Structure 1
Amino acid sequence: MNGTMTFKTLQTIGRFGVLLALITLIVFGWLRYDNFLGTYNVLSVLRYNSMFALVALGMCFVIITGGIDLSVGSTAALGSVVAALASPYGAVPGLLAGLGAGLMIGACNALIITRLNILPFIATLATMLAASGCALLLAGNQSVSVSYESGFTELGQGDFLGFPVPAWIALVAYLLGSLVLNLTSFGRTVLAVGGNEDATRLMGLPATRVKAIVYLASGGLAGLAGVILAAQFGAGQPIEGVGWELFAIAAVVVGGTLLTGGVGSVGSTLAGVLLLGLIFNILNFENGLGWISLSAYWQSVIRGLFLLLVVAIQARLSVRTEETV
């Protein structure tokens, strides 16, 4: 009986731990800082972190299959440059161009991993370098200004019903992602591939096709994040995506998705994105109060230590769960 209760307790911690941490952080910020829950700060956090949310969503599906996608940051940078170059033709062409660039990199990843049987780490490392080089070549090693007359910037700076357009895009993407993962045969196959790919094939499930689609979607979502990046900051930025893949991995792991694959949640990934985003928002508030003064470099150190702590706790819980079983 005690073993069963412990097992259920560990499952509950793994599933709702990130949500409890997020609520705790929100309450802390509300009690400590003026205007922490003010409209401006809340909308700014949602607008800025929508890019990372899209990248993390694609990474969530990739990691559930037991893979990794190191190219998402460079893909987002490439998407921002391509979208900026196409922005004079209008918002829709700019959106489609950036999305298309991301899908192109995603298709390369899918082909290399599923057809050439190259490990995802090596395959996506190669496409990360290729995408970064393409972004720098297209941009001429400098930022590419977007057109402000075509309405393209509304994709990053606009509001709809009082809510940032980028946040609407991320919300729709997460709703679709959750429906796909939880209510479709494709989602069940994604989980099965991460659990045991060989067994999935023996059951007659389309494991190879599902993996290909997952990497294609990850590239597309990264390209879409690049579109928002260009629209939000008014320029395609070929070096801006550096480290985005680490943020995405951190958000996914913080959300309880196992790096070994087979277990994951779209909703928890979103909570992980918001948790990491609020941590840095709180650090900025602390800088404003004058109690501490942390540069962006120190914030990166904190991000790494936080990820290490979460992975260590996750590994410990997994060991205890196995011992209980």
Structure 2
Amino acid sequence: MKHRWSGAGIGVVIALALLIAFGGIRYDGFLGSYNILTVLRYNSMFALVGLGMCFVIMTGGIDLSVGSVAAMASVVSAYLSPYGLLPGLLGGVGAGLVAGTLSGLIITKLKILPFIATLAVMLAASGTGLLLANNQSVAVSYDSAFTTLGQGNLLAAFKPEWIDGDNAGWMGTALGLFFNFPTPAWIALVAYIVGSVVLNARPFGRHVLAVGGGEEASRLMGLPTDRTVFAVYLISGGLAGLAGVILAAQFGAGQPIEGIGWELFAIASVVVGGTLLTGGKGSVFTTLAGVLLLGLIFTILNFENGMGWISLSAYWQSVVRGAFLLVVVILQSRLARTAPA
């Protein structure tokens, strides 16, 4: 039951640093503020579903429903957006919590395997989203402040004018990144800080890792096993709902089919970050590094397409994602066999 960084966790941080250095050297504008902020804004949604998936996988479970739940939540929040930011936010997160509650109850009360339970919830959420949206995108209201959750920059109003000047220098550039830091990225960052504190400094975090290390042993030790398992699926559903809110706010519409494949991105990010698929070991912040690593790989593919050396369609992202995940799982398996008992 470990929550310290593993070798794979350290490796993903090193790989992320090398990828950033490679991109900065090879591509003009790669380390420019526009590209950095765009990557952070877009990948904040994947960071949130990845965080929820991290807690689920640390218990030895899996949540296949996060993409469909996010899509459904985006539709709910879009319908509520005319009433303001708070109703849209609460509606989307609430939809995610309902889905997470359903998954948790099926797993803990009916004793259905997480794979089957969350597959059923995935299908239900997907169908619900399509029914609510009538199989089309649902436009959000721009008359309320709802879109600031996805398109806004939280501190932009406090940015000094000299930062945008021609002679701002490196300090002005750094401060510009800070004041222009996207609102969705702030949300994701706060979520990861809270998640890290919960995992490393609260009893719940120890319970999560204990359940992943051995559910039956945890039950014999008197730990609240079912409550812990239920809680991680509730967290995963709520974070997926929040990602759906940001999806609707960022793109201006609730999109009932947008979440396809998000669960695979989340699983890949968690595993690349060093969390074992068998549970009992993992780290919150290396999961974030895994999200950024995968996001940057796709950004580099786009930059490479722009240079004209290669021409890869968007479908290659799925190929790269699957191959990357397979390699990491194989490496994890080999390391687990050779690790001392």
TM interval, shorter chain, is over 0.9
The alpha carbon displacement at 1:258 in A equals: 0.3
Residue 19 (structure 1) aligned with residue 13 (structure 2): yes
The alpha carbon displacement at 1:223 in A equals: 0.3
User: Unaligned regions of 5+ residues in structure 2, if any?
Assistant: 156-179
**Alignment partner, residue 236 of structure 2:** 218
Read off the aligned partner of 1:243 and give its amino acid letter: G
What is the aligned counterpart of 2:329 among 288, 308, 311?
311
Residue 105 (structure 1) aligned with residue 99 (structure 2): yes
**Alignment partner, residue 200 of structure 1:** 218
Q: Deviations over 1:283-314 (max 9, x none)?
A: 00000000111111112111111111111111
What is the aligned counterpart of 1:36 among 30, 52, 62?
30
Residue 255 (structure 1) aligned with residue 273 (structure 2): yes
1: CA distance, partners of 2:320 / 2:6: 26
Q: Deviations over 1:1-36 (max 9, x none)?
A: xxxxxxxxxx86323000000000000001000111
Which 4+ runs in 1 deviate beyond 2 A?
11-15
Residue 180 (structure 1) aligned with residue 198 (structure 2): yes
2: CA distance, partners of 1:175 / 1:255: 16
Read off the aligned partner of 2:12 and give its amino acid letter: V
1: CA distance, partners of 2:26 / 2:236: 38
Residues 180 and 12 (structure 1), Cα distance of their counterparts in 2 relative to 1, 3 Å cut = closer
Identity %: 73
**Alignment partner, residue 115 of structure 2:** 121
What is the aligned counterpart of 2:53 among 45, 50, 59?
59
2: CA distance, partners of 1:78 / 1:102: 8
Residue 244 (structure 1) aligned with residue 259 (structure 2): no
Read off the aligned partner of 1:39 and give its amino acid letter: S
2: CA distance, partners of 1:289 / 1:229: 29
Q: Map of 1:49-198 to 2, 5 A cutoff? A: 49-161=43-155, 162-198=180-216
2: CA distance, partners of 1:181 / 1:12: 15
2: CA distance, partners of 1:285 / 1:246: 23
Q: How many residues are paired up?
A: 313
CA contact (8 A) 2:211 2:218 kept: yes
Read off the aligned partner of 1:122 and give its amino acid letter: I
Read off the aligned partner of 1:244 and give its amino acid letter: W
Read off the aligned partner of 1:116 and give its amino acid letter: L
Alignment partner of 2:222: what SS? coil
Alpha-carbon RMSD across the aligned residues, in angstroms, is: 0.8
2: CA distance, partners of 1:54 / 1:185: 22
1: CA distance, partners of 2:9 / 2:43: 22
Q: Deviations over 1:242-300 (max 9, x none)?
A: 00000000000000000000000001100000000000000000000001111111121
Q: Deviations over 1:37-63 (max 9, x none)?
A: 100000000000000000000000000
**Alignment partner, residue 7 of structure 1:** none
The alpha carbon displacement at 1:316 in A equals: 1.2
Q: Map of 1:288-299 to 2, 5 A cutoff? A: 288-299=306-317
2: CA distance, partners of 1:14 / 1:119: 28
CA contact (8 A) 2:6 2:274 kept: no
Read off the aligned partner of 1:117 and give its amino acid letter: K
CA contact (8 A) 2:49 2:240 kept: yes
Q: Deviations over 1:199-238 (max 9, x none)?
A: 1111111011011011001000000000000000000000
Residues 173 and 88 (structure 1), Cα distance of their counterparts in 2 relative to 1, 3 Å cut = same
Residue 265 (structure 1) aligned with residue 283 (structure 2): yes
Read off the aligned partner of 2:76 and give its amino acid letter: V
**Alignment partner, residue 3 of structure 1:** none
- TM-score normalised by length of structure 1: 0.95
CA contact (8 A) 2:74 2:245 kept: yes
Read off the aligned partner of 2:110 and give its amino acid letter: L
Alignment partner of 1:293: what SS? coil
Name whichever of 165-174 and 309-318 sits farther off.
Answer: 309-318
Read off the aligned partner of 2:115 and give its amino acid letter: F
